[in-house]
Amino acid sequence: MSTADILSHSDRCKRFGYFSLREQPWLLSPSDILRKAVHAGLTTLDDPGQTAHDVVMETFAEKQIDTKILNLFDLGLHIACLADIVTTALRSGSLWERPEDVRIGQGAWISSAFLNPNRTRLRGVFIVSNWNQDRENALRYSWHVLGECSVYQMPMELIVVHVGQMREGKYISPWTKGWIHPRSKELRIRKRSGEGFSGNWIPVFREERAEIERDVWMRAMQDDDVVSDCLTRIAVEYPSNLGQKMREMATNQLADLAQMKEKPEMSLSQCFWPKPCPYRAECWKPI
């Protein structure tokens, strides 16, 4: 787990941070699995998209998934196909490198970010279901952005992947849903006019049509000019006036977490919001 994750969890609930520093989550959400898979695809020497796909399916087979969806195979296959196409869109050329661990206090900062090809800028990949100015502000001032920039004293390019809301076990976005003409079998993602499809066009999710290869889906997204709608890139400069303060805060908070001998008190209002805590099952046992 990255240091930015641990500090973010600690900000939400000290017990959440306590668990995060010491062990892996017992429950994994679909969004966490998607992020893990895309990151794996970006850093592999093998086929990036296939690697991301395989990581999702392996995780669904081996771990406990935090979802109310009963058909885990269909859910896993849907997220695997999403991870495949997102990773393919993000990565071209060689694997993405991560910055080396940096000594901070008595421990190490383990990065959640990547380096750009010339190693002059960090790259942060963030997968979101919705995006607005409030969400952007929250991200800019988070440990995953402000913290990473301060530790490495480098600017960052934010790469925000819009995957849409999940409805009945499926993310609804151009990454996952298209339309096929019943006779010509042409795949479209949206009309260039922006209007919806009508008539006999058949709605289809990518995992439902094995014959639609990844490159075909990617080309359809490009031809219908939707990739730019699904990816937002934002440049964030290194905050030189805050860098030292952020490093001191990180050092002190990590030291406090490491020195805890017993679990801190629960933060009850944080157990299920903004999303359910992955440690809640064990946390609630011996209150």
pLDDT tens string 178-195 = 999 988 889 999 887 666
Alpha-carbon distances, residue 36 vs 1, 18, 140, 165 (angstroms): 10, 21, 21, 19
pLDDT tens string 220-259 = 999 999 999 999 999 999 999 999 999 999 999 999 999 9
Backbone angles phi, psi at 134, to 5 degrees: -65, -40
pLDDT at 109: 97
User: Which of 2-6, 33-37, 84-88, 281-285 is predicted with the least confidence, judged by mean pLDDT?
Assistant: 281-285
pLDDT at 182: 87
- The pLDDT-based confidence of 284 (bands split at 50, 70, 90) is confident
pLDDT at 287: 59
pLDDT at 26: 85
Backbone angles phi, psi at 161, to 5 degrees: -100, 120
pLDDT tens string 14-35 = 999 999 999 999 899 999 999 9
pLDDT at 194: 63
Is pLDDT of 283 > 90? Answer: no
Mean pLDDT taken over the chain: 93
pLDDT at 139: 96
For the segment 1-17, the average pLDDT, to the nearest whole number, is 96
pTM for this predicted structure: 0.93
pLDDT at 105: 86
pLDDT at 43: 97
pLDDT tens string 74-107 = 999 999 999 999 999 999 888 999 999 999 988 8
pLDDT tens string 133-172 = 999 999 999 999 999 999 999 999 999 999 999 999 999 9
